[in-house]
Amino acid sequence: MDRSSLPRYWLTGAGNGIGAALAEAILETGARVAVSACSAQACEALSARYPGQVLAVPGNLSDSQTVREIGETIARQWGALDRVILNAGTAEYVHGQPLEQTMIEHIVRSNLLAASFCIETARPLLGAGSDPHLVGLTSPVTYLTSLQAAGGSSLRELFETARQTLVAEGTDVTLVTPGVDSASLSVDDCFPKPAHWSAGDAATYLLGQLAERPAEVTLSVSSVSSLWPLSTAANDRQAQAAPGDSTNRSPIKGQP
């Protein structure tokens, strides 16, 4: 198959959950995908399964130097990008308790700063691409008021600011916000009832929506962990927390 005319993707958070499902769905089209995840093993596994299609660029995306090096690698190999899907990030909340300062810093670095570094690196690559499109998946933390100051609403503001610049340069921008399906109401008729997605089904639905390049897509979810599985560190923290402990943290989105 001649892949020279197919889009070149950079997908972050590709190690598991919806990120891994998106990677497979895109690779099945024959496109080339630069995959980023904390786990180099996960990236190499995709490379082995799809030889010639995968560019493994793992690393900690909250480190600006690492992101710059990833961009340089993509530039050397492909020269440009046509699609960028930023899915990496993490967020946690505390039931009825204020966030610790270290947790706030972790959330901001893993979500806001990592996304900012990736957008900065992707911008010239998209500018050199064909019909470019930037997609950002925000954490469900966006919808938790107590965490808005810790990177939730700031992600929306980051992408809206980027949209103003990128659209002027010819790059479409789509923001994907995990939320609820307003067409289906719960029993008390107050809150919409979210859908039950598998990672594969959610990825298929999302790619179908992205084909139209809307400004925003709402991805209804009832089980966040099925699309953004817990990181190993988060699993360890939950295992160590006592049952019913009000400080038990519930992860929202996987590691970058």
Domains in the chain: boundaries: 8-253
| Confidence check: pLDDT of 103 > 50 | yes
How confident is the prediction for the chain on average, in pLDDT?
Answer: 78
Confidence label for 49 from pLDDT (cuts 50, 70 and 90): very high
pLDDT of residue 211: 96
Mind spelling out the 3-state secondary structure of the chain? Answer: CCCCCCCEEEEECCCCHHHHHHHHHHHCCCCEEEEECCCHHHHHHHHHHCCCCEEECCCCCCCHHHHHHHHHHHHHHHCCCCEEEECCCCEEEECCCCCCHHHHHHHHHHHHHHHHHHHHHHHHHHHCCCCCEEEEECCHHHHCHHHHHHCHHHHHHHHHHHHHHHHHCCCEEEEEEEECCCCCECCCCCCECCCCCCHHHHHHHHHHHHCCCCCEEEEECCCHHHHCCCCHHHHHHHHHCCCCCCCCEEEEECCC
Pick from 26-30, 70-74, 107-111: least confident: 107-111
| Confidence check: pLDDT of 23 > 80 | yes
| Confidence check: pLDDT of 174 > 80 | yes
pLDDT tens, position by position, 179-216: 654 444 443 444 345 567 788 998 999 999 999 999 99
pLDDT of residue 194: 52
The domain made up of 8-253 has a fold known as Rossmann fold (3.40.50)
Confidence label for 65 from pLDDT (cuts 50, 70 and 90): very high
